[in-house]
Amino acid sequence: MKPSSATAQANPNIAFIKYWGNRDNALRLPVNGSISMNLDGLFTRTTVSFNSAKTDSLTINSTPVTGKGLERVSYILDIVRKMADINERAEVTSENNFPAGAGIASSAAAFAALAVAASKAAGLNLSEPELSVLARRGSGSASRSIPAGFVEWQMGKDEADSYAFSIAPAAHWNLADCVAIVNASHKKTGSTEGHAIAGTSPLQEARVADAPRRIEICRNAILNKDFEAFANIIEHDSDMMHSVMMTSKPPLMYWQAATLEIFHQVREWRASGLPVGYTVDAGANVHVLCLGEYKAEVEKRLREIPGVSNVLVAGVGGAAKVV
């Protein structure tokens, strides 16, 4: 095979049942399964070109990246080179169409796009589960940005078995994610460091033991389009993950005052008939899920809350793909 070039695109995703903690940090084998939806309209587009250069190179949004960022990309390229039996180094260029610090984790879309582009450029023809496994090695949540729509990542028995698959296509349920951006003053601890200390919280064991129950409820709520059950389980799961975060060593407190204010408002809105529910990742921003027809109303209400600096709105997205 002659190594060449390929471009791929992937959406970020928002987790409804969260991934928090690994049973193997190097392989990113999670301690529990998770469920998410891809975010339509937001994407990372990545080109991988194998060439005769001496080292791999990485450019993100026109800025050259070295050090840890490049190492994490080379780690995936090394796996691909081994699978394809090639030695060429690669030039990787990547663009996000959503602003950094917009409250959307970029690593999921980034490593999903990288897995698809790098394997294609190396001449490999990987199946969806194989692409999901490859993306997972770069960032756990990236495994879920490979398949389309509503996605479940099974923890799996072993390395090859821990991948994500679609449980329903994007068109199955018209949901919207209204992301309320809350200004966080301090620098937050990244998820990779967070996963590594999840086990130091005495609450993690209970959270993990109960995960199959939450997955089942969430999957059924999505399949049955039962919004009330969906809202209750995503809030419950998010609160459980943050309870673990807050009680780990060192403690991780991601919420700001406005985060909590949004929780109260969302629950009041739901009690008075508006179909909304919240979930929060490793940050202060609040993802407010609603039925698609209410997204303009939810966006308007969120913008009125003091401490909310912006609101991004996304529908349900498709699979990662070669472009």
Task: Point out which residues bind ligand DP6 (CB under 6 A).
Answer: 15, 18-20, 28, 34, 105, 107, 139-141, 191-192, 195, 281-282
Residue 73 Cβ, how far from ligand DP6 at the closest point, in Å?
13
For 232, counting Cβ atoms within 10 Å of its Cβ (0-12 exposed, 13-18 middle, 19+ buried), the class is middle
Three-state DSSP state, 210:
coil
Looking at the DSSP bridge assignments, the partners of residue 276 are 290
Of 175 and 282, nearer to ligand DP6 (C-beta) is 282
Judged by CB, which is closer to ligand DP6: 88, or 177?
A: 177
- Nearer to ligand DP6 by Cβ, of 20 and 263: the residue is 20
State the DSSP code for 122. Answer: T
Q: How many CB atoms lie within 10 A of CB 215?
A: 22
Least gap, CB of 318 to ligand DP6 (angstroms) = 18
Least gap, CB of 36 to ligand DP6 (angstroms): 7
Nearer to ligand DP6 among residue 101 and residue 296 (C-beta): 101
Smallest gap from Cβ 150 to ligand DP6, in A, equals 14
What is the distance of C-alpha 120 from the center of its chain? 22
Nearer to ligand DP6, 24 or 293 (CB): 24
CA quadruple 284, 315, 264, 17: dihedral sign = negative
**How far is the C-alpha of 222 from the C-alpha of 152, rounded, in Å?**
11
| CB of 19 vs ligand DP6, minimal distance in Å | 3
144 with 28: CB under 8 angstroms? no
- For residue 215, which phi and psi values (nearest 5 degrees)? -60, -45
Residue 34 CB, shortest distance to ligand DP6, in Å, is 5
Distance, in Å, from the CA atom of 160 to the CA atom of 125, rounded to the nearest integer, reads 16
Nearer to ligand DP6, 55 or 101 (CB): 101
Minimal distance, residue 137 CB to ligand DP6, in Å: 9
Give the distance, in angstroms, between the CA of residue 102 and the centroid of all CA atoms in the same chain: 14
Q: Cβ contacts of residue 22 below 8 Å, gap of 6+?
A: 28, 29, 30, 31, 140, 195, 196, 198
Nearest approach in angstroms of CB 61 to ligand DP6 is 19
Residue (of 252, 209, 194, 234) closest to 28 by Cα position: 194
Q: What are 152's strand-pairing partners? A: 35, 165
- Indicate the residue among 109 and 313 with the shorter CB distance to ligand DP6: 109
Q: Which one, 93 or 285, has the nearer CB to ligand DP6? A: 285
**Count of CA atoms in the C-beta half-sphere (13 A) of 291:** 10
